Structure 1
Amino acid sequence: MKGLKVVTVTLSTLLLVACASQEPSLDTSLYDGKPIDTLSSEEPPKTEKEAIMRGDTALSAGNVDLALYEYIRSLSFENGQFRDRSLYNIGRIHQSRGNLPLADKAYSLALEENPNNVQVLEQLGSIYSKSGDINQGKSYFLKAINADQIRFGNSETLVSKDLQSSKEVAELKSDAKSPEFAYMGLGVIADLEKDHSLAQAFYKQALSIEPNSAKTLTNVGYSFYMSGDYRKAQRFTLEALDKDPGDDKALNNLALIYLAKGEITRAINVFSRHMDKPEALNNVGYFLILQGKPDQAIPYLQQAIDTKSTYYKVANENLERALALVREGEASDKQ
């Protein structure tokens, strides 16, 4: 019996080697999924295009591991014409799974093949920005836009620019293929740097590429909220909610806008659309404190405490803070 087991394992190994020998050697360092030998029993692809088509088909069918494997297979063909695109697809799969090191590796290899791949540059900007490396993220977003301007034959590219004015942004060319998320990402960064007019110029470009983007509309609304233009903030935020009524971020922003306008009841109603009433009351109290209105916050925090005991601790801490701020204000008035 022991001898039989050894023979079986040996034959199995020989079969795998035989299968592998039918196609070019694969570099599986970019693969992260279930065992490759369980993915497909089809003959190996004969061309780069066939491998990519198989990957596209598998991806559309939801077979992500097989798609990843087929895209990696496409890289094994010498003098491939679409290597950067395959590497982009590989990067997107890893990025969607949260495997950022492999996504970054795939994208970096793609840029070696084509330094002006707009989609790759855009995704690298997104990865670095979300990880907290704002400067690196900004750099990749600018490179994505620069590459897009090269596509248009725009002689005034961004190689020596940092896009520091709304006029410069407005002069850029764009179409449906332009990097919407790079423009939006630069808008978010400009808002973080408190340059709201520049941020709004970037968002305008993003909306010219995709006018129905709820995410961009939400960011535009928040940008106007931060700059104190509550009328425009409300208009864009409501437009975002028209596209995606359940967007939590847009709902929160709309509630903040109503609070800034002094429309507290409307703010409570908006918060209550995606949280229970005590939490909505606590949120109203909390944000009124942040807006420098601790005296107005007190009754809403007390209602939150009275309505649901599970919010007692959080709401009570906010209430204590509000009362302390009110006492400090009264003491300073007497001096």
Structure 2
Amino acid sequence: MKRLTSLLMLALTFVIFGCSSTDTGSKYDTSLYQGRPIDTLTQDPPPQSEVEAIQRGDAALNAGNIDLALYEYIRSLSFDNLAYKDQTLYTIGKIHLSRGNNDLAERALNMSINANPNNSKSLEQLGMFYASTGRVSESESFFLRAVNADQLRFSSQHTIQREDVSIGLIESLNTDRTSPGYAYMGLGVLSDVDNEYDIARAFYDKAGSILPFENKVLLNMGYSYYMSGDYTKASTFTQRALNREPDSEKAQNNMALIYLAQGYENRALNMFSRHLERPEALNNVGYFLMLKGKPERAIPYFQQAIDAKPSYYKLANENLDRALSEVRNKEIIITNN
């Protein structure tokens, strides 16, 4: 009888432990999780603290086990008196962004900011996310909030608002290598769009001091000078970007545009040809010449693009028709005058 009782107790024990190992997600809010079924992730005992769960998540992330990392970070949020909630939610948001899970990423980042309104990295990341989705006013708001939150870290008296921004104010802002460099860069891009080129470059200077190896800073600075018509400085910054990353298509395209603005059509064609087939490169040169109000210079490039690949290059035919039409319109205007 004792043996039977012991066996029953042992069986009951297995049932209880079996339930806890297969129902690992029952006590956690898994609404931020998306990945493999939770019960396939781990058979380890649950973490006993927020820090232990975060350490497990870090280890899984370093090992490339993203689903397990995500789950461990989520488990860290189930404890009381959390010390790292906003930072963990930021990491969860970044994981979802890397996977294209935009809704979950946005939710996690907003939860991070709710936990800590001055988490400059979460504010910056939301600004970048909204910029990538075309929500310009929201991106600007979060970039500004990120910069101002970072100033609080320095106990600085300086804050920045869109309506009273100035070069002097931008230069007075405190930064270090942990400051939100992409927020500064984003504010520079938005200033360029508003034709505030000097303001944009002051923001890029700040971004460059925080992110000295980020090629986008050089590209944006070069493009800012290109947009304002200073092609010499545009060429200097863009060439520096090309020297760092010779295979960067963005840098090659920007350099080609600068060459065209300077009248170096062959150089532009060669630059486009680094990453495009020759018909596409020829069409690009013609297209940008046409945009610059030089349809007569564009026509030979469209004709060469068509000759190089007549069955493929429908676009070059359409652009050629447009260029010929613009040339005729110019001739009519000259004749009438």
Q: TM-score range with shorter-chain normalisation?
A: over 0.9
Counterpart of 1:40 in structure 2 is 42
- What is the deviation of 1:15? 5.5
Q: State which of 20, 25, 28 in structure 1 corresponds to 2:27.
A: 25
Give the counterpart of 1:156 among 143, 155, 158. 158
CA 282–14 in structure 1, closer or farther in 2 if over 3 Å, else same: farther
Report the Cα offset of residue 162 of structure 1: 4.2
Matches of 1:196 and 1:116, distance apart in 2: 29
Q: CA deviation at 1:56?
A: 1.0
Letter in 2 for 1:117: N
Contact 1:23 1:44 in 2 (8 A): no
- State the 1:330 CA deviation: 0.8
- Match in the other structure for 1:315: 316
Confirm whether residue 185 of structure 1 aligns to residue 169 of structure 2: no
What's the CA shift string for 1:20-76, capped at 9, x where partnerless? 788992000000111001011112111111111111111111111011001001101
Within-5 A mapping of 1:250-269: 250-269=251-270
Counterpart CA distance in 2 for 1:17 and 1:196 is: 63
Whole-angstrom CA distance in 2 between matches of 1:196 and 1:257:
17
Looking at structure 1, the residues matched to 265 and 131 of structure 2 have their Cα atoms a distance apart, in angstroms, of: 34
CA–CA distance in 1 between the matches of 2:264 and 2:111? 53
8 Å Cα contact 1:163/1:169 also seen in 2: no
**Normalized against structure 2, the TM-score is what?**
0.92
Deviations 1:98-140 (A, max 9, x none): 1111111111111121110010000010111111111111000
The alpha-carbon deviation at position 239 of structure 1 amounts to: 1.0
8 Å CA contact 1:124–1:137 kept in 2: the answer is yes
> Secondary structure in 1 aligned to 2:252?
helix
2:232 is aligned to: 231
2:107 counterpart (105, 108, 111): 105
List aligned pairs for 1:298-313, cutoff 5 A.
Answer: 298-313=299-314
Name 1:220's counterpart in structure 2: 221
Aligned-pair distance for 1:19?
Answer: 2.8
Contact 2:25 2:39 in 1 (8 A): no
Query: C-alpha displacement at 1:261, in angstroms?
Result: 0.2
* Amino acid in structure 1 at the alignment position of 2:75: R
Displacement of 1:294 after TM fit?
0.4
- Partner-residue secondary structure (3-state), 2:43: coil
Contact 1:304 1:311 (C-alpha < 8 Å) held by counterparts: no
Residue 312 (structure 1) shift: 3.1
Q: Which residue of 2 aligns with 1:58?
A: 60
Q: Separation in 1 of the partners of 2:64 and 2:124?
A: 24
Per the alignment, residue 7 of structure 2 pairs with none
Q: Secondary structure at the match of 1:50?
A: helix
> Larger Cα Rg: Structure 1 or Structure 2?
2
For residues 186 and 161 of structure 1, do their structure 2 counterparts lie closer, same or farther at Cα, with a shift above 3 Å needed? closer
Whole-angstrom CA distance in 2 between matches of 1:156 and 1:203: 18
Following TM superposition, where does structure 1 have runs of at least 4 consecutive aligned residues deviating by more than 3 angstroms? Answer: 11-17, 20-24, 160-163
Q: Structure 1 vs Structure 2: percent identity of aligned residues? A: 53
- Judge conservation of contact 2:70–2:92 (CA < 8 Å) in 1: yes
Q: Distance in 1 between matches of 2:18 and 2:331?
A: 81
Change (3 A) 1:22 1:34: closer
Structure 2 stretches lacking a partner, 5+ long: 1-12
* One-letter amino acid of the counterpart of residue 148, structure 2: N
Q: TM-score, normalised by structure 1?
A: 0.93
1:8 match = none
Residue 123 of structure 2 is aligned to residue 121 of structure 1:
yes
Residue pair 1:91, 1:104 contacting (<8 A) in 2 also: yes
Deviation at 1:247, TM superposition (A): 1.4
Q: How many residues align?
A: 324
2:325 is matched by which residue type in structure 1?
Answer: A
Q: Which residue in the other structure is 1:7 paired with?
A: none
In structure 1, what is the Cα distance between the partners aligned to 2:24 and 2:63? Answer: 26
Q: Secondary structure at the match of 2:234?
A: helix
- One-letter amino acid matched to 2:285: V
Q: Match of 2:147?
A: 145
CA distance in 1, matches of 2:189, 2:315: 30
> Is 1:254–1:270's contact at 8 Å kept on the other side of the alignment?
yes
Encode CA deviations 1:225-278: one digit per residue, 9 max, x unaligned: 000010111111111112222211111110000000000000000000001111
